[in-house]
Structure 1
C-alpha cells in the first residue's frame, strides 16, 4: 500500500511527520509526501521543500512530489475535476508519480477544498485519514460531506493543542480521533532546527515573538485595521516584559510595510528584528529564550502555550468577532478558543466551560450538520452570561434557530408585516404615511 500525504504548509507536514513518529499513520510500503503552495502569490513564497530544516521532516517520507509542478500553470487551490475526467486523471497521476496499480491510501488536510478535495475525488476508492488543521479541527465541518465519503474515512490524527478538548470536525460521521502528543512535535521541531544548523540564541534583551497573519489579504479586515492590530501586538509584547521583538510575518502574507512596523515598535519602546521569512514560528520558539508570543488568533499561540510552555497574548479578537460577518466562517472556532482562554486564563473549570462553548458555537455555525448537539447548545445558552452571549453569538443566528435569548416578533406583528408586503406599493403608500405621522405625534407627546 502506498500512502499519499498531501500538505500545503510546513506546519501540516510537521504534524504528519509527528503522527508517523507517534505510530498513528499505520504501516505503508511507501510514504509519498505531496506538497503544494496555496499562497495567494506562490511564486514569491518559499516552497515547503526549500524551507531551512525541512529535510528533517521530509526524512519521514520515502519521496516527495510537487502537485504544483504537475498542475502548472493552474494553481492547486483552484484545481477541480469533472466527473467524466476522474478515470483519466487517476491514470495520469498514477503514471506521473509512479504509483502503478498499487492500493493508495490518502492522508489529507482541508477535505472540503482543493487540492485535498480533488485528490479525494481522483483517488475515489482510497481510504482517507484526516490530518489536523490546527485549531480548525475543533470546529464543525464547513461543507457537509456525503455518507459515502464518510465511510472512506478511517479517522483523524490531530496535534493535541488544547489538552482535553475533543475535535468536532467530521464528527457527524462517527470517526475516531487520535491525538499526537506534544513531545513528538516538540522533538521534531528540534530536529528541524538542527538540520537547518540554527544556533540556540542567547538573546541580548528580554525578547518576545510577534506573529503576523494575513487577515487583510483574506479580506477579513482592512489593511488599516491589521496595521492597528500589529501596533497593539507590540504594546502587548511590552506588557510581557519584552524590550525587543522578533516580528514574523505569515508565510502566505503579502509584503509588509517594514518602515511602519519599525516605527510602531519604536513608539512602544521596543527594538525590532524581522525574522527570516523562510523560518517557521516554531523554529524561532525552539532557538530563542522568549518571554512570550503575541498574535491575533493564530494556531501558533496554542502551539506556543501547549508545545513549548510559553506565555501568550492575543490581540484584536474583538475586532475579528465583528468582522466575521458570515457566522459559518471557519476562523470562528480558532478565534473563540484563543479569545476565551485568554479572557479566563487560570479560572476554575476552564476546560469544561470551553468545551461547552465550543460545542454551542459549532452548532450555531452548522445546525444541520451538528443537529445532534442542539440540546447541548440550548443548555449552554440558557446559563451563559449576556456578555458572553453577545460576544460569541449573533442575535440573528439565535433568532433564526429559536435558541435561548431569541428576540422573536409576535405572531400578530409578523402577520401584519406580511399583509403589508403583499399590498401594491401605490396602495400601501398612504398607510405608511399615516404610520409615520402617528410615530411623530407620539415622539412629541401628542395624540
Structure 2
C-alpha cells in the first residue's frame, strides 16, 4: 500500500510531520508527500521545498513529489480532469511518481475542492483520510460530496487547537476522528526554532507580535477597512504595554499596507519592525516569546495561547462577524471560535471547571450556515437560540434566523410591522407546491368534465 499525502501549505507540511511522529497517518508500506501549492500567486511566493526546515520535515516520508511542477503553467486548484481523462492521468501519475500497480490510499485536505477531488477521482478505489491543520475543520462541510467519495471516507485527522472541541467537518458522514495533541505539534516547532539563529531576526524584547491577515484578497474587507483593522492591532499592542511591535505580514500581502502601518506605529510612539521571513508565526513566537500575539482570527492566536502559552489579543472580531458575507462563508466558524473564546471568555470543551457552551454555539451557527446539509441540527439550534440569543447575537444575522424561522421571533427584522415577505424558505416552497397542486386539480376537473360531456352525448 502506498499512501499519497497531500499538502498545499507549509503549515500543513509541519502538521503532517507531527501526525507522522504521533503515528496518526494511515498504515502504508510507502508514504509519499504530494506538494500541491495552494497559493493564489505561486509565481511570486516561496516554493514549499524552499521553506526553512523543509528537508527535516520531508525526511518523515519515503518520498516527495510536486503536483505543481507536473501541472505547470496551470495551478493546482485548476486541476479538474474530464471523466474521459481520468484513466490517462492515473497512468501518468503512476509513471511519474513511481507508484507501479500498487494499491493507493489518499490523505487529502480541503476535500470539497480541487486538487483533492481530482486526486480522489483519478485514484477511484483508494480509501480516503482527511487531514486538517486549522480552525476550518471545526466548521461544516461546504458542499455535498459525490457518492463515490463518501463510500471511501475513513477518518479525519485534526489538530486539537481548541482542546476537546469536536470537528463538524463531515459531520453528516460516519468517520473516525483522530486528534493530534498540541504537545506533538509543539515539538516540531521547537525543532524548527532550534535550527534558526535568533540574532538573524533581530527580534526585540518585551515586544508584541502582530500577525497580519490578507482579508482584502478574499473579498471580506476592502483595503481601507483592512488597514483600519491592522491599526486597531497597533493600539491593542500599545494598551498591552508593548514598546515595540513586530509585524508579520501575510505572505500574499503587498508592501504598501505595512509601510502605512509603520507611520501609524511611529505616531503612537512604538518601534516598528516588519518581519520578512518564511518562518511560520509559531516558530517566530517560539523564538521571540512576545509580550502578546495580536491578530483578528488567525489560527496563530489559538496555537499561541493553547500550545505555546503566550498571551493573545483578538481585534475586530465583533465587527467582522457582521461584515462576513455570505453567512455560509467558511471563515465564519474560525471567527466565531476566536470571538467566543478570546473576547467573550467562553471556555474550551475540555475545561473541567465549566459547562461546554462553545459546542452548542458552533452547532447552531453551523446549522444556519448549512441548514440543507445538516437538518438534524435544527432542533438544537432552535433551543440554543431561544435561550442564548441575547448573549451570542453577534454570531447570528437577524435576516438569517428570520429566513430559517428560528427563535427568537422578536429579533426578526420587520418591515411595516410585518416579517419580510418571502424570507421563509419553507413557506415559499410550500406555496409553490400548493399552486402546482391547484393547477393539477383544475386540469383533472376539466378533463373529467369534458369526458362526462362526451359520454352523455
Q: Which TM bucket (shorter chain)?
A: 0.7 to 0.9
Among 336, 342, 361, the alignment partner of 2:365 is: 361
**Deviations 1:221-242, CA, capped at 9 Å, x for gaps:** 1011111111111111122221
After alignment, is 49-58 or 295-304 more displaced?
A: 49-58
TM-score, normalised to structure 1, is 0.87
1:383 aligns with 2:387: yes
2:451 counterpart residue number: none
Counting matched residue pairs gives: 415
1:395 aligns with 2:404: no
Which of the pair has the greater relative contact order for Cα pairs under 8 Å at 6+ separation? 1
Q: Which runs of 5+ in 1 are unaligned?
A: 419-447
Paired residue secondary structure (1:250): coil
Separation (CA, whole Å) in 2 of partners of 1:249 and 1:36: 23
Contact 1:202 1:289 in 2 (8 A): no
For 1:22-421, list aligned pairs within 5 A. 22-198=22-198, 204-345=204-345, 352-386=356-390, 388-389=392-393, 391-406=394-409, 407=412
> Cα distance 1:127–1:113, how it changes in 2: closer, same or farther (>3 A)?
same
> Cα distance 1:211–1:411, how it changes in 2: closer, same or farther (>3 A)?
closer
User: Which 4+ stretches in 1 moved above 4 angstroms?
Assistant: 196-204, 346-351, 408-415
Contact 1:57 1:192 in 2 (8 A): no
Separation (CA, whole Å) in 1 of partners of 2:354 and 2:136: 19
RMSD: 2.3
Displacement after TM superposition at 1:254 (Å): 3.5
TM-score, normalised to structure 2, is 0.86
Contact 1:34 1:66 in 2 (8 A): yes
Q: Which runs of 5+ in 2 are unaligned?
A: 423-427, 429-457
Paired residue secondary structure (2:273): strand
Contact 1:53 1:193 in 2 (8 A): no
**Deviations 1:52-94, CA, capped at 9 Å, x for gaps:** 1222211111221111110001011121111111111111111
Separation (CA, whole Å) in 2 of partners of 1:32 and 1:82: 25
Separation (CA, whole Å) in 2 of partners of 1:78 and 1:254: 24
> Cα distance 1:34–1:163, how it changes in 2: closer, same or farther (>3 A)?
same
1:437 counterpart residue number: none
